[in-house]
Structure 1
Amino acid sequence: MTNTFVRVGFTAAVAAALFVAVGTPTVAQEKGLTIKDIMKAGHGGTDPLLKQVIFAAKDGKWDAAVAAAKSLDSNAALLHKATPSKGGADSWEKLGGAYHKNTSALLAAAEKKNADGVKTSAGAIQGSCKACHTAHKGK
Structure 2
Amino acid sequence: MKSLICGAGMAALVLALAAVAPTNASADDPADVGTIMTKLFAGKNSPNNALKAAAKSDSPDWAKVKEASEVFSKFAPDLARNEPPQGDKDSWERLAKALADHAAALRDVADKQDADQLKATVKALGSSCKACHDVHRPE
TM-score (norm 1): 0.70
Of 25, 36, 46, the residue aligned with 1:48 is: 46
Once residues 54 and 130 of structure 1 are traced to their aligned partners in structure 2, the CA distance between those partners, rounded to angstroms, is: 15
Give the aligned partner of residue 97 of structure 1.
97
Which structure has the larger Rg? 2
How far off is 1:63 after superposition? 2.3
- Unmatched segments (≥5 aa) in structure 2: 1-26
How far off is 1:56 after superposition? 4.6
Amino acid at match of 2:84: P
How far off is 1:49 after superposition? 0.5
- Unmatched segments (≥5 aa) in structure 1: 1-23
Once residues 66 and 25 of structure 1 are traced to their aligned partners in structure 2, the CA distance between those partners, rounded to angstroms, is: 25
| Contact preservation (8 Å) 2:99, 2:129 | no
Give the aligned partner of residue 38 of structure 1.
36
Give the aligned partner of residue 18 of structure 1.
none
Amino acid at match of 2:71: S
Q: CA RMSD in A?
A: 1.9
Once residues 54 and 129 of structure 1 are traced to their aligned partners in structure 2, the CA distance between those partners, rounded to angstroms, is: 13
Give the aligned partner of residue 127 of structure 1.
127
Percent identity of paired positions between Structure 1 and Structure 2? 29
User: Counterparts of 1:1-139 in structure 2 under 5 Å?
Assistant: 24-26=27-29, 28=30, 33-56=31-54, 58=57, 59-138=59-138
Amino acid at match of 1:66: K
Deviations 1:25-73 (A, max 9, x none): 42x5xxxx42122112212221110222343563442222112111112
TM-score (norm 2): 0.70
Once residues 131 and 54 of structure 1 are traced to their aligned partners in structure 2, the CA distance between those partners, rounded to angstroms, is: 18
Tell which deviates more after alignment, 50-59 or 98-107: 50-59
Alignment length (residue pairs): 111
